[in-house]
Amino acid sequence: MQASTTRRRIATMVSAAALGLTVLVGSSAAAIAAPQDFGNIDPDRTGSVTVHKFLNQSGTASGDISEAPAAGDFADPVADVEFTVYPLLESGSPLDLTVPENWDGLDALVPGAGCTAPSGFTLGAPVEMPLTVADGSSTVALPVGLYQVCETAAPANIIERALPFILTIPMPHEGGWVYDAHAYPKNGAGSIDKTITPQEDFGLGSVVEFPVTVPVSRMAQEWIGFAIRDTLDDRLVPVAAGDIVVTADGAALDPAFYEIEIVGQQITMEFTAAGLAWLNEGPNAHVGTEIQVVFAGTVIEVGDGVIPNTAQFWPNNPGFDANTQPPLPSPEVRTNWGDLEIVKRAAGTTGAEGTLEGAVFEIYAAEDPYAADCSTAVATGDPVVVDGATSFTSDASGVISLSGLFVSDSVNPVIDNPQRCYVLKETAAPAGYVLPADVFTPVAVLIGDTVSDDVEIENTQQEVPELPLTGAAGQVLLIAGGAAALAVAAGLMLMRRRQAQTTR
């Protein structure tokens, strides 16, 4: 009677707590199968354990330790998960399961934290199982004995690893023994998505927003930590904590549920105790709810023009210890910027000669910012604010510098376009010069490039009355009169010669 009770306890312990069979799975799971053997344990027999790895399920049935699942019984298999089997040693030796008293107390064994051995035992040499394949399964042969099985590696999107479990070869089952056991440890999978809000302001000093979305995952364990973190590039200054927007399915999340902490470039949204209690309401009551944090920073410089950004989801890791539970990284996004320099000069000059100081310009967005040819760009909207200014004046070298103009990003059309069209407007010419007939000059701003010398805008001089030339009128009259006298004299001489010839 006592042996039978012990066996039932072991079966319950391994099946429910260790193998995770109480996690609900598809309702079509097969009925419990018969054991593989009866009678005494065969110490020379080789057994095995097969893990069947799936995401946390939402059905109503359990798996069977004596056989593999039927096709369709489970959803969402997980490939590329590694399990490691450790023999449990007592006083340095494997436990001999052919000794009756060695079964006593096995139903109370609990793996230590972080896959350490249960109290009173040590871990033997590890046996690494093959990575799970596409159907989530992996098998390793094992001799008769007592083992602890731990999940030791998993894909990056696995945010809840299976708890370590205790295994005996053979397993007591339905009055008999199962030498080839089947375990169904589950995973919680997470996801994180990052995007960029379409840019509305285009000059240095503008704010760039990076919305990050994390759906609440189905978990077998309770949430003990939920945090989303974004470390901004040094070219961005984080906005104030009060300007970070947090929503759940698009509605403002209760401010009591989270805290925002900013340390240097790092911004962290972390759920409070009240927020974790909300997440843990009922059996996964908020599964699928999209938690979004809109991280934001002000552009203070451009550098090479490409400013990347990546966020991280830290599930059930309130200490932010990457060794115990690495964060799940988001896709990388990029916001692209460039500089613009133009040269103002007097018409007809080249090089350093004739450059003009004091010309005043504004810059505007173009109606078609991503036209293939910016030469016909048309201005739209109000002047662009660049580093707090809307008016820009040429310096002593005739150069007008606009450092930091938005070009494109990696999310919104046109994705990563290498240039963006803008339009310059000259609002005041230097002293002594006039505005051009057309005060608008289309320009193209390139990612990370400073466009100079290629863009030159000329001014012509103001017109004034002509200066009088001293004595000019008298000289003209004398010259004209002298020419007339010479013509008359020549004519008289010609007439006299003709007369003399006729007389002869």
CB of 399 within 8 A of CB of 452?
yes
> What CATH homologous superfamily does 46-187 map to?
Immunoglobulins (2.60.40.10)
Which residue is listed with tokens 């590039």?
233
Confidence of residue 72 (pLDDT cuts 50, 70, 90): confident
Domain span(s) for CATH 2.60.40.740 in the chain = 193-331
Domain span(s) for CATH 2.60.40.10 in the chain = 46-187, 336-459
The three-state secondary structure class of 483 is helix
Q: Return the CATH class of domain 336-459.
A: mainly beta
Q: Give the whole-number percent of the chain exceeding pLDDT 90.
A: 66
User: How far, rounded to the nearest angstrom, does the alpha carbon of residue 73 sit from its chain's CA centroid?
Assistant: 36
Which residue is listed with tokens 């450790």?
86
User: 193-331, what's its fold?
Assistant: Immunoglobulin-like (2.60.40)
- Rounded CA separation 432/345 (Å): 12
pLDDT digits (tens, 9 = 90+) for 377-406: 999 999 999 999 999 999 999 999 999 999
Q: What is the mean pLDDT of residues 105-117?
A: 90
Cα dihedral across residues 478, 484, 487, 492: positive or negative: negative
The pTM assigned to this predicted structure is 0.75
pLDDT digits (tens, 9 = 90+) for 274-310: 999 999 998 788 989 999 999 999 999 999 999 999 9
DSSP-assigned beta bridge partners for residue 296: 209
The residue length of the chain stands at 504
Output the 3-class SS for 415-476.
CCCCEEEEEEEEEECCCCEECCCCCEEEEEEECCCEECCCCEEEEEECCCCCCCCCCHHHHH
pLDDT digits (tens, 9 = 90+) for 131-171: 999 999 999 999 999 999 999 998 888 888 888 999 999 99
- Rounded CA separation 37/189 (Å): 37
- Rounded CA separation 440/425 (Å): 5
Residue 90 is encoded by which pair of tokens?
Answer: 């007592």
Residue 1, pLDDT above cutoff 50: no
CB of 430 within 8 A of CB of 357?
yes
pLDDT digits (tens, 9 = 90+) for 180-236: 999 988 878 889 999 999 999 999 999 999 999 999 998 878 899 999 999 999 999
